[in-house]
Chain A
Amino acid sequence: MFKARIVASALFAACLTAISASAETLRWGSNRDIVSLDPYSYGDSFTINVLNNVYEGLVRYNRDLKIEPALATSWQVMSDTVWRFKLREGVKFHNGDPFTADDVIASLTRVSDPASPLKGNLPAYKSAKKIDDHTVDIELNGAYPLLLNDLTNIHIFSKKWLVENHAEKPTDVGAGVEGYATTHANGTGPFMLESRQPDAKTVFVRNPNWWDKPQHDLDRIEFIPIASAATRVAALLSGEVDFIDDTPVQDLPRLEAAPNVKLLQRADIRTIMLGLNRRDTLVGGAKNPFNDLRVRQALQDSINLTLLRDRVMRGKSRIAGTMVAPEIPGYSAELDKPAPYDPEEAKKLLAEAGYPNGFEFSFVCANDRYVNEEQLCQAIASMWARIGLKPKLDVGPRSVQTPKFTNGKADVYTLGWATEPMLDSYSLLLQVLHTKTGNAGVFNWGGWSYPELDKMIDQAGVMLDREKRLDLQIKALKLAKDQVLMIPLHQQPMVWATTADVKEMPQFPDNKPRLWYVRK
């Protein structure tokens, strides 16, 4: 009897261990918290990506960042301005509500509400119409080739759930409207929200009723923001988290030496560039020398990109000759040849342009946006000083520097562009290189205008034929390169680190962990 009890309890204990061993938890130590549980509350790519574990769009990116069906199974372009989407049947939200056309329409209405900070993510949207329970027509305000790219980031809510909780409208800080969806979540995705404590821990658990066959083997995700980089690395080394993104480059040797840590590194798709003031006068009031192509070339030729890569970026970055990364549609290897480092030529060009003794200008950088940005700017400033230029370096936090950028108070500035969220070079052309008009050129902080370039971009924006569109975009990028509109520097390194327990963690060039592919 006594023996039997021991055997029974040993068996019971064995079962317990077996259960706990198969329940895989991934603890993700992230450099920042998500803003809210509502993907529409704040224009933040990071939050949208984390919430993608819970919410899904009509389409999604696969492992190769190609668009594939998600909540829509197929689509058809009916006319220049109408797209018809067939929706997946049998999908259920986490609370059990069935997924239908009404949910799509309610979500699109919510995201395009005038108060929605995310409506810029769906610029071409005009209206949506229900054809039947599983068919929706989306009407656009013009021909637009990149609708699918945009839709990857528009998460679908349950209409019934929104209505029941009075959250049909997005939150509105100005009008004091808060929302149920800020603190609750109900999507169709591979994981369901279990709990959330802001700045401490957000827990997701496996959705057993997910419509897709899971490629992951996780039962639970603990999302843990740890803002301090040193603490984040320490937490990984002590095994308190399994995965960290945004690993500081200077900690790599230590992590490489640690026995239980795996490093995942590659170049990001974010291209770091320098932009130049192109208004009539410099910020200081003097006549603007940057309007002379030779001066711009001199600036470019005097930057030693190899040295920047090897010293500032510790050999981890990828030198860029063009303004988009190889993974981005519109990239061309032919354009991706960096200007050779030639300080003598640069001096000659400056002298020819009438500035043999250089000139003074402001060089504005932030210190909390890109990898080692402050050191990068210091290195470039000293390279320019070597050919006689007098850059006045101004480094500060992003929140303080951004108004200088947007108000044209910077003669030379840094800008990193990943073509988020559409992942197409059209994003760079429209937002950064186009003349500042209406929707276009919001990040044209230098204030230049090339009508010929604008024409090509505008044509590409309505060209539904993909090949022809990319041809146009490459031509536009060539013009921008020839005119030295921006000086591309590199694609910055991105380093993720996991403990040895994590078997599979696909690393995406857009620096977004997609946890539904993770095996532990």
Chain B
Amino acid sequence: MLVFLVKRIFNAAVVMLAVAAMAFLIFRFVGDPVEMMVNEQTTQAQRDQLREHLGLNDSVFVQFERFVVNAAHGDFGISYRNQRPVSELIAERFPATLELVLVATILSLLIGIPLGVVTAIHRGTWYSETLQFGSILGVSLPSFVVGIMLILTFSVTLGWAPAFGRGDVVHIGWWSTGFLTRSGRASLILPSLSLALFQITLVMRLVRAEMLETMRMDFIKFARARGVPARRVQFRHALRNCLMPVITMTGMQFGNLIAFALITETVFQWPGMGLLFMQAITFVDIPVMAAYLCIVSFIFVAINTLVDITYAVIDPRLRHQGH
């Protein structure tokens, strides 16, 4: 087990290094941060001096090496645009993104699983066909369109939920939470719904397919034959057997949601990591971009590793194959 863990951690480090290296190759094409930092009256000499001072004239390799060495010491540098340490900025934004993704994930399970069961059991009825058709829309609508439509309906027309922002937050140590205030909870509704929509349809379709499969199994037939009530068969026996792949997929998608929350965050002005990253792209804020990419790839790698470890614990064959 220890060997397995060490190997995985080594793999994770290699993946993160590779992501950072690719990021630095790309940074050469994202623009010139100096032109974004200075104002109209700055002379050419001052611009050149600033570029040299920031180390932008060094080769990609030197810049990359400097980043890796500093990052290994836990120093991600200072944001060009925000003039504050990048680690501090990301720590400040991380709770907002995590809470949003958490709520979206819970929503997707709470809504997606019952819908999946209903459409599987009542296959062919008009409402499950409508739900099936609706789920195609959910998968294919881009999330910024969904976000704007939610805002127009629920903020402008109905006035039920705030159109933007995170409301009032409560600080607990370095963590900031919107769960504890009324405006904080109200602000969560639209963005989390918008982020969850894709996930809801995914969960629903997965549960539906698994349910259809399971309902054909012998043990369901035997349960029925024994006269177990239909509801009990469906929810207790069948659904339980469908949940393993749903949980796995939800875990894997968690990283995706964190990465793709940036569109939702932009539409709803949600002050999370995604908004920070969008701002960094606009202003060519290289330290923030590099750190963000590394952190997101770390989250992906960490989740993957966790899933692999779980499998290894469950299934001893994986351990003995020297995987």
Q: What is A's interface to B at a CB cutoff of 8 Å? A: 33, 35-36, 38, 41-45, 115, 117-121, 123, 171, 173-176, 178-179, 182-183, 197-201, 224-228, 230-231, 234-235, 237-240, 368, 397-403, 406, 420-422, 427, 431, 436, 438-439, 442-443
Contact of B268 among A175, A231, A439, A443 (CB under 8 A): A231
Tell me, yes or no, whether B278 is within 8 Å of chain A by CB. yes
Give A432's nearest chain B residue, CB to CB.
B40
Could you tell me if A230 and B151 are in contact, using CB atoms closer than 8 angstroms? yes
- With A35-B82, A399-B36 as given contacts, are A117 and B42 in contact (CB-CB < 8 Å)? yes
B85: chain A residues within 8 A (beta carbon): 178
Q: How far is the CA of A228 from the CA of B143 in the complex (A)?
A: 14
A439→B77 CA distance, assembly (Å): 31
CA distance A308 to B171 in the complex (A): 51
Please measure, in the bound complex, the distance between the C-alpha atom of A431 and the C-alpha atom of B41, giving whole angstroms. 7
On whether the beta carbons of B271 and A200 are closer than 8 Å, the reply is yes
- Cβ proximity bits B153-182 to A, threshold 8 Å, 1 near / 0 not: 001100100111110010000000000000
Chain A positions within 8 Å of B278 at CB level = 227
Q: Answer whether residue B282 sits at the interface, using C-beta atoms and an 8 A cutoff.
A: yes
- Given A45-B39, A200-B166, is A228 in contact with B267 using a C-beta cutoff of 8 Å? yes
- The answer to whether A117 and B38 touch across the interface, beta carbons within 8 angstroms, is yes
- Tell me the smallest distance from the CB of A388 to a CB of chain B, in Å: 34
Task: Decide if B41 touches A421 in the complex (CB within 8 Å).
Answer: yes
Interface size class of B (residues with CB under 8 A): 35 or more
Q: Does B284 contact A (CB under 8 A)?
A: yes
CB-CB under 8 A from B32, the residues of chain A are 399, 402-403, 406
**Chain B contacts for A43, CB-based, 8 A:** 37-39, 41-42
- Are B159 and A238 closer than 8 Å at their CB atoms? yes
Question: Which of B41, B151, B266, B269 gathers most chain A CB within 10 Å?
Answer: B41
Q: In the bound complex, what is the Cα–Cα distance between A420 and B80 (angstroms)?
A: 22
* 27 pairs, A vs B, C-beta closer than 8 Å: A36-B83, A41-B83, A43-B41, A120-B40, A120-B42, A120-B43, A171-B78, A173-B78, A173-B79, A173-B80, A174-B50, A178-B84, A178-B85, A226-B164, A230-B148, A231-B148, A231-B151, A231-B164, A234-B148, A238-B159, A239-B159, A240-B164, A422-B41, A438-B43, A442-B40, A442-B42, A442-B43
Q: Which residue of A lies closest to B152 (CB)?
A: A234
Top 8 nearest A-B pairs (CB, nearest first) are: A43-B39, A399-B31, A120-B41, A120-B42, A174-B53, A200-B271, A199-B271, A402-B35
In the assembly, what is the distance between CA of A199 and CA of B270, in Å?
Answer: 8
With both chains docked as a complex, state the minimum distance between the C-beta of A78 and any C-beta of chain B, in angstroms.
Answer: 25
- Give every chain B residue within 8 A of A421 (Cβ-Cβ): 39-41
Contact of A238 among B37, B41, B155 (CB under 8 A): B155
B44 contacts the other chain (CB 8 A): yes
* Chain B residues with CB below 8 A from A402, complex form: 31-32, 35-36
A238: B residues at CB distance < 8 A? 155-156, 159, 163
B275 interfacial contact with A, CB 8 Å: yes
A45 to B275, CA, bound (A): 22
- Which residues from chain A contact B298 at a C-beta distance below 8 Å? none
Where chain A touches its partner, the secondary structure class is loop
B54 touches A173 (CB 8 A): yes
Interface contact A179-B83, CB-CB below 8 Å: yes
- Residues of B whose CB lies within 8 Å of any CB of A are 29-32, 35-47, 50, 53-55, 77-85, 89, 92, 147-148, 151-152, 155-156, 159, 162-166, 169, 266-269, 271, 275-276, 278-279, 281-284
Contact present for A403 and B166 (CB under 8 Å): no
Apart from A120-B39, A399-B30: 8 A-B pairs, beta carbons within 8 A: A118-B39, A173-B80, A174-B54, A182-B82, A228-B268, A234-B155, A402-B32, A436-B44
Shortest B295–chain A CB gap in Å is 17
Contact among A117, A397, A442 for B50, CB-based, below 8 A: A117
The answer to whether residues A237 and B275 also contact, given A402-B32, A406-B32 and a CB cut-off of 8 A, is no
Q: How far is the CB of B86 from chain A (nearest CB, A)?
A: 11
Chain A residues closer than 8 Å to B271, beta-carbon distance: 197-200
Cα separation A231 to B77 with both chains bound (whole Å): 33
In the bound complex, do residue A227 and residue B78 qualify as a contact, i.e. CB atoms below 8 Å apart? no
Q: Considering only CB atoms, which chain B residue lies closest to A438 in the complex?
A: B43
Please report the C-alpha to C-alpha distance between residue A291 and residue B75 in the assembled complex, in whole angstroms: 51
